[in-house]
């Protein structure tokens, strides 16, 4: 645990008692603060009370009198589409609002670090797609290289639940826009921006607000090194804002769309080959084509970002390559779950938006595509470049018929349920086909989360093999 510093003896409100909220309350208490907790869910309040936490209803008048800060869980809106009533009350009372990420950065470094030979470092990864895989890949490469590393944030453990890092230890954080948007302290040593595409627009008041939330990771504290995907306008803008010139190697540019040139530091992948260039010279390369845990251009982009981050931490190219080759991938992200009679079954339930689903479609040929769910803003037109890879679509979700209408030029079948979709795909599949779950939609019309949707797909596949 990372005890929260700076609130000794103070009353600190905690709103939301899920994983991050409860860990924040525990860390506050460990640092000498007095947490006052609330969650609209009664079961969550009971669980917190069982741990000895005081429950306080912040909707009552004067609830924030004498409160030093309000710590908010990431799923609770603080501005758009409208502030949560408790957050609005705290802001009206002049009480600072923060989250567990902000508490982590203000509390991680201690005087004990003075006795370490090598100070611990924090690598923070954000972006629209690939955050989880990139974070897990960095963590895996470090561990395979014998380095102390912990994985936390939006993946793995809560940031305040990790152990205090030791000599030369590295903390790898995956951070969503919900987390970066509110944190009052953001000071990673290495910050990574994977890519950018529309998502969570209602929560951030539009595309500009969404990008602004991502940008805060680089603007608030200023990392020593920034790894920036430059295949979109936003990434190119961010790299330009952070760089002092074309040769500034504090910014490492990453691409899977083109060869990068110039005197700076760049990592790019073309036709399955990763290349690292510094000062106009190639200094490292990896053949990514045979690495099963990293299929497709989108995973090659993740590999480039992870490679660049690992290089900033002093790892050699061959050491990084060894880590890549032993990386098994993450559940629900281009996860190969079975193969039979020449048919491969891939679970990419995490493809919850059009951009991530397009990347999955481009990674495979001869696809029996299971898609559909709660469609997001912007429609399905962005899928067009990948539809030539689809032999047939099997559409799930409560609005499956409407979703299917948006798949122009693709033979589709309205299945509604996962069981029927998998069954029909298995019946139709031929050797060389890939049965791919890449929904291009949220899961909440039928499932609690994308993990449950992926697990249902795996269960239906295994029941038929």
Q: Provide mean pLDDT across the span 119-137.
A: 95
> CA–CA separation, 161 vs 23, rounded Å?
6
> CA–CA separation, 433 vs 256, rounded Å?
26
Q: Provide mean pLDDT across the span 36-61.
A: 95
Closest CA to 150 of 299, 1, 291, 307: 1
Confidence of residue 39 (pLDDT cuts 50, 70, 90): very high
The fold for domain 335-463 equals 3.90.190
Burial degree of 57 (CB within 10 A; 0-12, 13-18, 19+):
exposed
Digit-coded pLDDT (tens) for 307-335: 999 999 999 999 999 999 999 888 998 89
Binding site annotation covers 154?
no
Q: Provide mean pLDDT across the span 151-164.
A: 93
CATH architecture assigned to 110-325 = 3-Layer(aba) Sandwich (3.40)
Domain boundaries, the chain: 11-98, 110-325, 335-463
Binding site annotation covers 126?
no
Binding site annotation covers 131?
yes
444: helix, coil or strand? coil
Binding site annotation covers 129?
yes
Binding site annotation covers 133?
yes
pLDDT at 432 over 90: yes
What is the CA angle 426-396-363, rounded to 5? 65
The residue with tokens 């924090």 is 122
Binding site annotation covers 132?
yes
Q: Provide mean pLDDT across the span 141-170.
A: 96
Confidence of residue 198 (pLDDT cuts 50, 70, 90): confident
String of b and e for 402-435 (b: at least 16 CB within 10 Å)?
A: ebbebbeebebebbbebbbbbbbbbeebeeebbb
pLDDT number for residue 341:
94
Please report, rounded to a whole number, the percentage of residues in the chain having pLDDT higher than 70. Answer: 100
Predicted TM-score of the model (pTM): 0.86
pLDDT at 378 over 90: no
Digit-coded pLDDT (tens) for 332-358: 988 989 999 999 999 999 999 898 899
Q: Provide mean pLDDT across the span 283-302.
A: 92
> CA–CA separation, 414 vs 412, rounded Å?
7
CATH architecture assigned to 11-98 = 3-Layer(aba) Sandwich (3.40)
Supply the mean pLDDT for the chain.
Answer: 95
């Amino acid at each position: 645990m990372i005890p929260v510093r700076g609130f000794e003896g103070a009353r600190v409100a905690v709103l939301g008692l899920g994983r991050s909220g409860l860990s924040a309350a525990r860390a506050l208490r460990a640092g000498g603060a007095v947490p006052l907790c609330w969650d609209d869910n009664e079961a969550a309040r009971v669980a917190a009370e069982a741990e000895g936490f005081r429950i306080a209803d912040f909707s009552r008048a004067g609830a924030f009198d004498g409160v030093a800060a309000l710590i908010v869980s990431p799923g609770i809106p603080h501005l758009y589409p409208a502030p949560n009533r408790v957050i609005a009350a705290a802001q009206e009372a002049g009480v600072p609002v923060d989250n567990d990420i902000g508490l982590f950065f203000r509390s991680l470094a201690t005087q004990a670090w003075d006795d370490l030979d090598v100070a611990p470092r924090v690598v923070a990864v954000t972006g629209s797609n690939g955050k989880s895989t990139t974070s897990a890949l960095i963590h895996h490469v470090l561990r395979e290289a014998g380095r102390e590393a912990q994985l936390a944030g939006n993946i793995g453990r809560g940031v305040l639940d990790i152990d205090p890092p030791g000599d030369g230890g590295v903390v790898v954080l995956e951070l969503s826009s919900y987390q970066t948007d509110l944190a009052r302290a953001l000071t990673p040593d290495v910050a990574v921006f994977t890519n950018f595409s529309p998502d969570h627009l209602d929560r951030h008041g539009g595309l500009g607000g969404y990008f602004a939330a991502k940008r805060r990771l680089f603007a608030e504290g200023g990392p020593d090194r920034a790894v920036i995907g430059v295949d979109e306008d936003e990434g190119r803008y961010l790299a330009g804002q952070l760089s002092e010139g074309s040769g500034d190697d504090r910014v490492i540019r990453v691409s899977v769309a083109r060869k990068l040139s110039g005197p700076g530091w760049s990592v790019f992948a073309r036709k399955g080959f990763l290349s690292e260039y510094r000062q106009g010279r190639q200094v490292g390369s990896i053949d990514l084509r045979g690495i099963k845990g990293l299929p497709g251009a989108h995973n090659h982009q993740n590999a480039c970002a992870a490679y660049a981050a690992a290089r900033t931490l002093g790892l050699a190219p061959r050491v990084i390559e060894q880590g890549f080759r032993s990386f098994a991938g993450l559940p629900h992200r281009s996860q190969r779950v079975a193969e039979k009679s020449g048919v491969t079954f891939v679970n990419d339930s995490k493809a919850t938006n059009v951009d991530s689903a397009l990347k999955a479609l481009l990674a495979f040929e001869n696809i029996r595509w299971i898609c559909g769910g709660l469609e997001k803003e912007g429609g399905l037109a962005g899928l067009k470049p990948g539809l030539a890879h689809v032999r047939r679509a099997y559409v799930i979700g409560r609005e499956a018929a409407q979703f299917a209408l948006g798949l122009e030029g693709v033979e589709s079948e309205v299945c509604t349920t996962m069981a029927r979709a998998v069954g029909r795909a298995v019946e139709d599949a031929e050797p060389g086909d890939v049965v791919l779950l890449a929904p291009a939609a949220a899961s909440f019309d039928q499932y609690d989360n994308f993990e449950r949707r992926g697990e249902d797909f795996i269960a239906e596949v295994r029941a038929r093999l």
